[in-house]
Structure 1
Amino acid sequence: MPSASAPGKVLICGGYLVVESPNIGLSIGVSARFTTEVSEHTHTPSVAPRTVTVRVLSPQFRAEFLFVATITGEVVSVEQIEGPKSPFLLYGVLYAVACQAMLGKGDDSSSITVRLLASNDFYSQRNYLEERGEHVTVATLRSVPPHNPLVGDVSKTGLGSSAAMTTSFVACLLSELGVGDDTERIHRVAQVAHSVAQGKIGSGFDVFTATYGTCIYRRFPASCAEMMMQGAEAPTQVAVSLLHDCVKPEKLWVEPIAFPGLPKGLSLVLGDIHQGGSATPGMVAKVMAWRKSVKEVTDNLWDQLGAANRSYVTLLQELCLQASASVANHDAAVKRLSETVLAEATAEGSEESKWLEAYTAAGTCRRLLREVGHAAQVTIEPDSLTPLLNETAALPGVLAVGCPGAGGFDAVFALVLGEDGCARVESFWESYKGMEVCPLLVREDPRGLAIE
């Protein structure tokens, strides 16, 4: 029986600008993964119309869902029969079955049962630990059983759980329905399902990261998927020919940009901020309205930030090349700088110079993004988080800090040289007095979708 797992994401560069091509973003795939696994599949000789019944078990949410997709000629429709409403699952079923019909696979009706399992880091474990009389620390988080059932009203940690779930769910269904494991087809069907479930076409970096892992991302044209968004606001059926026109391989969606992952020696550390989260759609709308107002202004903040992001990402690419071309010197540079406050560092050799250039570029991106927030009157980097980020940046080995993605109160991140530096940041966050910061267990995992 197949299973498919997809990683969560952390956008560390390109917030807001990634909505608009040709701007780029750097999205980090993380070790938190959403897994969908088939536990049962039965076939029934088909009597028209053919049906595909999908039962979804979610032990972490103590929930069960039942969907029935019906194939009538060239149209596939879907209905949810049981369970709380879940548009991401509903449209995952609709477009996976439509993709099967599009490729002429499947003659029998079938009934599939799957389980959904999410890494604990997608959700706050605070309620579970406090119920046991424990504080939230790295040590206590490590003691939480894998795929722990959630306790009470639980908040997300901003790792893109809906995108990871949709991608793993679609991939698992397509594999079980005999469609195969074509990664780009899975990506496109998952993007369609995720967009329709949200009722809008976003930047798509979260589904792309769930499929391909750590990536330099440039947004796919909205026209690739907007044909699926026309008509009913919450469609319950799709013409097979329409899905074919949308996902056909002849049309390029996202041009791949080579990036193997963070440079050797550099790690991602993520902290959960217990401040209630932020309303990302409203923040994006306000920033894009401001962006429109300055579009004709020469060398405006938006364009400055776009150039700074490109420079920063280029330096990280060069550091990846340096790590393989000059192994000993690169490793020595990481070792020395991991024990140094980078703002005070003086380069010893070209390898250290490249790291310090990246440190300066990261700081420029953070400053310009904060200025964009002030100009658009959006709290991309809330003033209350600035002292925390500044003090984190002043720790030895810290290359970059910020509020990932759209910013706000969801989380903070640090890019840190050396494992000792990671432990140093975690310890500092756990003892920070200004607010409650809980380090998460996630690290970068550059792999994308895994199907077994």
Structure 2
Amino acid sequence: MDTNARVFSAPGKALLVGGYLVLDPRYKSYVVALSARMHAMVSTARPMDQNKTSITVCSPQFNNEKWTYNLLQGQLSVDGTNKSKNLFIECGIRNALDYFDIQNSMGFDINIDIFSDPAYHSSQGSIMKQNGMKRFNFFNSSISEVPKTGLGSSAGLVTVLTTALFSVFDPNLDLTIDITLRKIHNLSQVSHCQAQGKIGSGFDVAAATFGSIAYQRFEPNLISDLPERNLSAKDYNVSLQHLINDTDWKFTVEPVKLPDQLRLFLGDVNSGSETVKLVTKVKNWYNLNLPKSQEIYKEINAGNMAFIASLNEMNQLSLTNPEKYKVLINNLNKSNKYEDPIVLQMRESIAKIRDNFRLITRESGAEIEPPVQTELLDTCMNLNGVLVACIPGAGGYDAIALLTTEMTNLDSQTKGKEEFSNVTWLDLQQVDIGLKEEEVVAYLNLQ
């Protein structure tokens, strides 16, 4: 490995509360960053042809699939050896070159290896490789053929890819500087939205960059107002630089932390939902049912804010009265029926949110909380140590989320029970930090 190599990683996410409302800048959401991370190892070398720059992104875990792009005389072309198209990689590369105004060849070969932690994909058919520091699942299939678990792999990919390219074009890159993080965030949002073909809420890219956050989105027109790159590359570059460097995006990212001795469990339900279809159905329902739909959103928001307030109260209690907090946690471990006033508020707020999403499910046809998931969540609420159970993000059949005490053993309480036969508990923890630089040695000699 080249001595100039650097590695960057970004966390996955779970939108605990704020589903659908997060699309509106008026509403606050609560996003938990997860211990499962996406990783990018970048190195540069001088090629034989000093007049050409190539950027190769490789996915060693997925059959060593590669995507190569060549920059020659100001034009970026897709290499003919690429077996598939990956818009997230392509948009990330194009925007990084545009932002840094790399119009002419730098005479570099840039190589980026992308890794994803095991929780991002189904492990079926994989081989674990490790070196005592890192472990990854390797597949004999392309990445498009392996089922995902919904942790935000595309947002993580774009964010670490953008960071890796930043480090090449700005060798003094320092992720401890807030303005640097915001520039990476802004550029990653642009690339991610363009790759998706739509302007999403951006909570996943924000969590990949900043970690666990209370989040309110940016205005969509910030990205939609960019000029067409194909019409004028120069106009696009100037507009992009102004958007990244000088524009106030007016999004909110407040660092948050789950209360002491609590953890988030995600359960993969071995199914899946198409978020875009769900969102489209909900949007149509919302527009056709005004002002009633607006009142329902206000009810959901009230539940969201009450839930966030109860988490803040628990955090405060753990600091100001640790003995009382210890009793609260111990009682939760012993009985699922225990209801301290803070716990009661937390449960009532989630109940309000779920009630309204079930209403939207019935009226819109978007299966946010379908009956089978309702039954599963209600069963989870009978487990010791569980504070609340809900469906994160856009809902559907992707996963369930439980907020529990650290001592809760879900495996022992659910193993062998028919109602949990399709649930796989993911080995994840909440993390505070977003983007960070890693040690290169941790990615070498995987076997």
Partner of 1:260: 256
Name the residue aligned to 2:277. Answer: 282
Residue in 1 that maps onto 2:45: 41
- Alignment length, in residue pairs? 418
Deviation of residue 416 (structure 1)? 0.3
- Counterpart residue type for residue 265 of structure 1: Q
Q: Does residue 406 of structure 1 match 2:394?
A: yes
Task: Determine helix, strand or coil for the equivalent of 2:96.
Answer: helix
Which of 33, 36, 39 in structure 2 is aligned with 1:32?
A: 36
Aligned counterparts of 1:230 and 1:331: Cα–Cα separation in 2: 58
Are 1:43 and 1:108, in contact at CA under 8 Å, matched by a contact in 2?
no
* Alignment check: 8 A CA contact 2:55 2:109 kept: yes
> 2:234 and 2:327 mapped to 1: Cα distance?
58
Corresponding residue number in structure 1 for 2:78: 79
Alignment-derived partner of residue 150 in structure 1:
139
- Per-residue Cα deviation, 1:167-222 (whole angstroms, up to 9, x for no partner): 01111110122163410000011111111111110011010111011111111110
CA distance in 2, matches of 1:117, 1:23: 34
Q: Structure 2 residue aligned with 1:437, among 423, 440, 443?
A: 423
Change (3 A) 1:338 1:359: farther
Q: Aligned partners of 1:392 and 1:119: how far apart in 2?
A: 27
Give CA deviations for 1:33-53 in whole Å, capped at 9, x if unaligned.
Answer: 000012443378975xxx542
Measured in 2, the distance between the counterparts of 1:395 and 1:323 equals 23
Deviations 1:97-149 (A, max 9, x none): 222228x9x983321111111001100012338xx9xxxxxxxxxx9x82111
| TM-aligned CA distance change 1:24 to 1:236, over 3 Å | same
Q: How far did 1:366 drift? A: 2.0
Q: Which moved more, 1:430-439 or 1:156-165?
A: 430-439
The question of whether the paired residues in 2 share the 8 Å contact of 1:67 and 1:82 is answered with no
Unaligned runs of 5+ in 2: 175-179, 439-447
List per-residue Cα deviations over 1:327-379 (Å, max 9, x = no partner): 332233212222221xx3253xxxxx223322222222222222222221211
Distance in 2 (CA, whole Å) between partners of 1:280 and 1:346 is 34
- Cα displacement string for residues 47-93 of structure 1 (whole angstroms, at most 9, x for unaligned residues): 5xxx5421112111111121124574xxx745344322111111111
Name segments (4+ residues, structure 1) moved above 6 Å. Answer: 43-46, 235-238
Partner of residue 15, structure 1: 19
Alignment counterpart, residue 107 of structure 2, candidates 106, 109, 112 = 109
Matched, 1:303 2:304: no
Q: Which residue does the alignment assign to 1:53?
A: 54
Q: 1:170 and 1:326 mapped to 2: Cα distance?
A: 44
Residues in 1 aligned to 2:233 and 2:151: alpha-carbon distance in whole angstroms: 28
| Structure 1 contact 68–81 (Cα < 8 Å) conserved | no
Describe the shift of the 1:52–1:326 C-alpha distance in structure 2 as closer, same or farther (beyond 3 A): farther
Aligned mates of 2:93, 2:78 — CA distance in 1: 10
CA distance in structure 2 between the partners assigned to 1:407 and 1:300 by the alignment = 20
Which one-letter code corresponds to 1:165 in the other structure?
A: L
1:240 corresponds to = 237
Report matched runs for 1:284-363 at 5 Å. 284-297=279-292, 300-341=295-336, 344-347=337-340, 353-363=341-351
Alpha-carbon distance in 1 for matches of 2:70, 2:53? 6
3-state SS, counterpart of residue 8 of structure 1: strand
- Larger mean CA deviation between 220-229 and 191-200 belongs to 220-229
CA distance in 1, matches of 2:415, 2:239: 51
In structure 2, relative to structure 1, the CA distance for the partners of 1:128 and 1:111 (3 Å cut) is: closer
Partner of 2:224: 226
SS at match of 2:404: strand
- Cα root mean square deviation, aligned: 2.8
Which letter does structure 2 place at the counterpart of 1:239?
Answer: Y
2:170 maps to what in 1? 178
Deviation at 1:256, TM superposition (A): 2.9
Shift of 1:385: 2.0
Q: Distance in 1 between matches of 2:28 and 2:137?
A: 36
Q: Indicate conservation of the 8 Å contact 1:185/1:249, yes or no.
A: no
Structure 1: which 5+ runs fail to align?
133-142, 348-352
The normalised TM-score by structure 1 is 0.85
With over 3 angstroms needed to count, the CA separation of the structure-2 counterparts of 1:337 and 1:52, relative to structure 1, is same
Q: Secondary structure at the match of 1:256?
A: strand
